[in-house]
Amino acid sequence: MEQEQKRLNKYIGETGFCSRREADEYIEQGRVTVNGAPAIMGMKVSNDDEVRIDGKIVREKNEKPVYLAFNKPPGIECTTNLEVKDNIVDFINYPKRIFPIGRLDKASEGLIFMTNDGDIVNKILRARNNHEKEYTVTVDKPITSRFIDRMGNGVPILDTVTRKCHVEQISKYTFKIILTQGLNRQIRRMCEYLGYEVTRLIRIRIINISLDLPQGRWRDLTDAEIVELNQLIEPSSKTEEASLPKVEKEPRVKSQESRSTERKPFQGEKRSNRDQPKRESAEKKPRWNVEFVQREDTKTMRDEKPASDEKPTAKKRNVEFVKKEDSKIIDKKPFEKPSEKPANETLSDQPKTGKRWNVQVISKDDPTYRKKGEY
């Protein structure tokens, strides 16, 4: 029976020796050999092949992968970065390179898996796979039925609404919650949205593995637990499958046979509006007759000139000017003062007349110009 082959960088990544990106760099640098020959980028290998990096065997043939259950204490960082203080890898100090499946907040505690099998990670963690993780949570205020109801029906956090989940009250300040999601600090954010603060958070179960270790201790998963775990995650999407984009289905096109079987109207049956042909008048609309000329022949209004060379002149008004000395008095009548109105007379009582103001025009040389009492 032939062994299943996989890409070399994935094979190295699953051994826990390094990440896939680092494996690609090692291959480009010529530090990787397969069965004694230099490795080629993109080549595939199986468990029967001997893979070495810098002369060191990456994994013994048919070596069994590592699966650990660890009870993480608070204060430990779930990272493989050895430069980070109190990282989980240094705390466990396992003889082989392992990494955590998922993470727990630094302040949280409880069950977490450690492994060197990279293919199982996304099967467990991807939200679309709907695997259960159970927690016990202690908060700072008494729990109410309204709080339990709202936690179970979804809470808006991180620009989304959490999935519906099972929530059960254990005591006055403690409740149990089962999630199939893995949002960043999900339980703490949900409680914070409802006005509660988490004082203690413990993960007590992942799928079929329950927490049965003292704090800070780890153990290997049994063969029965691994078999059951693989059976439960078998329908889950793998790393490569889950990362591929969904392919949209093309719209279904009717075949000629199906078109021929469509019901057609018979004689005497009223046709619907959509069955009636379009009016021919719409197609026979008159079109504009447009005549195109060359650019040299085009003329603008500015280029057009009048038929005669004479410029059009505007009509002149006959205006007669006279000297100041020759100005005459049009009417030299004394200015009549308006008669005083009676006290009891109103504007409505006055008779309406068509008289206009008497205006007299005098010249500056007139001896009566601006004399007191006459103007």
Helix (H) / strand (E) containing 34:
strand 32-34
Burial of 173 (0-12, 13-18, 19+ CB in 10 A): middle
Q: What average pLDDT does this structure show over 138-161?
A: 96
Cα–Cα nearest to 65, from 210, 230, 205:
230
Q: If pLDDT is split at 50, 70 and 90, which confidence band does 144 have? A: very high
Sorted by where each starts, the structural domains of the chain and their CATH numbers stand as: 6-57 (3.10.290.10), 64-117+212-240 (3.30.70.580), 132-206 (3.30.70.1560)
Give catalytic residues, as residue numbers: 105
Structure letter (DSSP) for residue 41? T
* pLDDT at residue number 244: 42
% of the chain at pLDDT higher than 90 = 38
CB atoms within 10 A of CB 198: 20
* Higher local confidence (pLDDT), 198 or 116: 198
Structure token pair of residue 202: 């413990």
Model pLDDT for residues 52-66, shown as the tens digit of each residue: 998 888 875 556 889
Model pLDDT for residues 176-196, shown as the tens digit of each residue: 999 998 899 999 999 999 999
* pLDDT at residue number 245: 42
- Name, of 52-66, 90-104, 231-245, the range with top average pLDDT: 90-104
pLDDT at 314 over 50: yes
Structure token pair of residue 98: 């392992």
Q: What average pLDDT does this structure show over 339-349?
A: 56
Structure letter (DSSP) for residue 84? S
